[in-house]
Structure 1
């Protein structure tokens, strides 16, 4: 008895593990919108490329900070001339000898042919330079690098938002295709059952043969539409897999949410103008243009710096007796052909240009928000109307089917009622699809991506 218990325990453990594994696999196959979003951020090549641009600008900003620090370098030179550099003063020596009454200046005063520099000469030095004042150009460069980093981050966010909207559209398009396939399958099965009933009624002499032919034509059409719906599902699945970077996709877990608008359009518009990345990008470019004006103005001021040099090795340099030197340098360009004035005006025109773009962008975004909001309201009205139509169509189908079964209705009437109900259902799920993608796009553009993902 004890041995049997020992055998049962491992079997139970194995069974529990199998159940747990199957449950895990089943859950893994259910791809949610949030999980798809995370996979897209992790795998999409465009987002990866954009993130590298941000990292590059981070390093550029760090490099710009180095403008405030001293520059230290080591340099060396070795020369080989065709001959020594010398100064022959023997003529001057003879003249001096004549003035002094020396009969033989060469023997008394010696050879005045001096070697100033050997033909082989070399030296090496360590140098240091550091700017003290550049008219504000260094501060402007650091401001510009920070703004450029912000611009790269905005560009990355815009790319992420664009792809997120594509993801929402692709995800709901797949859901729409699946729902359409289910409806087409339901229609096919309904028409198939009706066709079989029509055959039986014809065999029993209840209906004429023409009614069976109508049913067969409707069945063929339903089968063709079902095959087309399956292809739509395959295409939507492939598009979604490519976007999020996965090889296989079994099922998705998402509902076509019931429409609701929580706040009026003006609140959405205010949030759009406050949070939209495009406006932030224009503002950053405007700040960058203002920094450009500061850079051009800096040319009116002198540039001041310090420098130092240490000569730690020399060869055949008799004239260079010192080992180090230090000093301060100043450069002040007083006139450059009015280049500065025109460059400043050009930089100011750039600021004005961006101010005009900002004004127009705000108008465009206000209109864009209203457009999305109107689309949401339109689909709300469509769904409300289609729900009423669906109720009537279901009742009509029921009545047409009963009339056909009692021999007082025709096959065409049943098929027509079935297709009408299916058409209304398709319109309803399409309206739900359009509502969800319009609402999703609006939420992404106002910076509420996380909020939208939490709703799905």
Structure 2
């Protein structure tokens, strides 16, 4: 913040009214310093946007922001990702079917070779039959009892082989693992949806904040302009009285009015700058372009002020997105424990397959009976000992749930404190508005009386200037209190996660 340096002729310091002049100038400097600080409450922000937009009300600004702001597109993508993960988890309930095909060419035919001897089994019935043949039968029986040499080289299939199969697996029992994964994905989708709602609430809060900032800046600009016009009239009146030879209006009074008018003109320029800055901040909050032309048309809105703090906290427990996300995370941690416990149980599944073998060789392993076929069966896998891996997974999941439960306690307390702070801020701003409006009425009446009295040379110049400044100060206090009230309501709505009028 910068204040224009005051250049006062040194001769004025020897005037008999110099102390009054210095006191008046110090009062003016303090007032304008305060007015400067009020005007410079709007941050300079970069922006993005669309086309020129004029005379927008608050509802139109919020609607445009919800359509254009990039953060909402990011949140939408996160919701889509969570939905895809949920559908991925649901796929475990369906059978999985895979098709495999493999073609290969070997450098030689595959043969089965066998060398050695074999022994025919003995049979009492056969020996009895051979003994009836006499010596010939006996000799034949002895020959059969001897080891028979074998030397075989059998071709199994050709070098070119094509094998194709279709396989099916379906889980029958997984110890609750599939259900747990599905529940975690479902809670993850709910968390993403709450995060999207939180982003939307943040956009609405920011739009309201900067919209009310623009309204405040425009009010301060109009106030500075009205004050400047009054001081111009006072300067003309003082000049006329001074040049007409008035005994009560001196040169110091004339110079005092000119200094005050110059300072007010500077304040008006600062107010115009603050208004442009606030519009740029609103444009950014709406997701518009930095070079977008924007103007608003404020509407008089009647605010519903909540009176029950406990109801606000209770509503936040149901609708605040941060609290809801944490609740879903706790529910997901319970499913995580179930998933960890599934390691203690066997996994049972149904398996089936159908296959075909293509080979030019019609005998061996690729004969007509072996070329096509199918299999069905039940598979079981049970980790009898995994080095305490499952036990530690269960311990980790339980510790994670405990951590989230403690975080929920902290978040509940912190949220209640924030709501109470905004509630107190709202009530304070409401009371300040009433007091400041009353003070403004008195200040306006005081200014009018002093102006009329000044025309009749019944009061001094410093009294008229002071009455003008006090009225402007009182009116600016009204505007600031209304601005604080609007900020408190928008902040409270963001924390509660719902519009305040809906709580009626």
- Do both share a fold (TM > 0.5)? yes
Q: Does 1:283 align with 2:283?
A: no
Shift of the alpha carbon at 1:185?
0.6
Q: How does 1:53-132 map to 2 (within 5 A)?
A: 53-89=78-114, 91-92=115-116, 112-132=152-172
- The residue that corresponds to 2:354 in the other structure is 310
Q: Does 1:182 align with 2:182?
A: no
Using the alignment, how far apart are the partners of 1:243 and 1:159 within structure 2? 12
**Equivalent of 2:294, from 226, 237, 249?**
249
Q: 1:90-130 deviations in whole A, cap 9, x for unaligned?
A: x527999xx979xxx99xx8x62333343332211112111
Using the alignment, how far apart are the partners of 1:119 and 1:162 within structure 2? 69
Structure 2: any 5+ residue segments left out of the alignment? 1-52, 121-141
Match of 2:170, SS state, is: strand
**Equivalent of 2:262, from 198, 203, 220?**
220
TM-score (norm 1): 0.85
Q: Is 373-382 or 411-420 further displaced after alignment?
A: 411-420
Using the alignment, how far apart are the partners of 1:368 and 1:428 within structure 2? 25
Match of 1:385, SS state, is: helix
Q: Does 1:261 align with 2:305?
A: yes
Q: How does 1:149-168 map to 2 (within 5 A)?
A: 149-168=189-208
Using the alignment, how far apart are the partners of 2:253 and 2:143 within structure 1? 147
- The residue that corresponds to 1:352 in the other structure is 402
- The residue that corresponds to 2:317 in the other structure is 273
Shift of the alpha carbon at 1:259?
6.1
Shift of the alpha carbon at 1:260?
5.5
User: Quick check: 1:161–1:445 contact (8 Å CA) kept in 2?
Assistant: no
Shift of the alpha carbon at 1:450?
7.8
Shift of the alpha carbon at 1:372?
0.7
Q: 1:317-367 deviations in whole A, cap 9, x for unaligned?
A: 842504221211111111100111111011011111111111111111111
Q: Does 1:292 align with 2:336?
A: yes
CA RMSD after TM alignment: 2.6
**Equivalent of 1:394, from 444, 452, 463?**
444
Match of 2:297, SS state, is: strand
Shift of the alpha carbon at 1:157?
1.0
- The residue that corresponds to 2:61 in the other structure is 36
Q: Is 117-126 or 290-299 further displaced after alignment?
A: 117-126
Q: Is 35-44 or 175-184 further displaced after alignment?
A: 35-44
Match of 1:250, SS state, is: strand
Match of 1:319, SS state, is: helix
- The residue that corresponds to 1:238 in the other structure is 280
User: Quick check: 2:319–2:498 contact (8 Å CA) kept in 1?
Assistant: no
Q: How many pairs does the alignment contain?
A: 417
User: Quick check: 1:259–1:380 contact (8 Å CA) kept in 2?
Assistant: no
Using the alignment, how far apart are the partners of 1:305 and 1:258 within structure 2? 65
**Equivalent of 1:426, from 465, 472, 476?**
476
User: Quick check: 1:191–1:219 contact (8 Å CA) kept in 2?
Assistant: yes
User: Quick check: 2:228–2:265 contact (8 Å CA) kept in 1?
Assistant: yes
Q: 1:50-107 deviations in whole A, cap 9, x for unaligned?
A: 0121122223222322211111121111223333333443x527999xx979xxx99x
User: Quick check: 2:306–2:500 contact (8 Å CA) kept in 1?
Assistant: no
Q: Is 416-425 or 273-282 further displaced after alignment?
A: 273-282
- The residue that corresponds to 2:496 in the other structure is 446
Relative to structure 1, is the Cα distance of residues 254 and 312 closer, same or farther in structure 2, using a 3 angstrom cutoff? farther
Using the alignment, how far apart are the partners of 1:262 and 1:309 within structure 2? 68
**Equivalent of 1:416, from 462, 466, 473?**
466
Q: 1:249-274 deviations in whole A, cap 9, x for unaligned?
A: 2323233x566634222222222223
Shift of the alpha carbon at 1:374?
0.7
Structure 1: any 5+ residue segments left out of the alignment? 1-27
Using the alignment, how far apart are the partners of 1:227 and 1:60 within structure 2? 56
Using the alignment, how far apart are the partners of 2:402 and 2:360 within structure 1? 62
Relative to structure 1, is the Cα distance of residues 340 and 68 closer, same or farther in structure 2, using a 3 angstrom cutoff? same
Using the alignment, how far apart are the partners of 2:80 and 2:457 within structure 1? 76
Q: Does 1:406 align with 2:456?
A: yes
Match of 2:458, SS state, is: coil
Q: How does 1:360-375 map to 2 (within 5 A)?
A: 360-375=410-425
Shift of the alpha carbon at 1:152?
0.3
Q: Does 1:385 align with 2:435?
A: yes
- The residue that corresponds to 1:210 in the other structure is 252
Q: Which has the higher helix share?
A: 1
Structure number with greater Rg is: 2
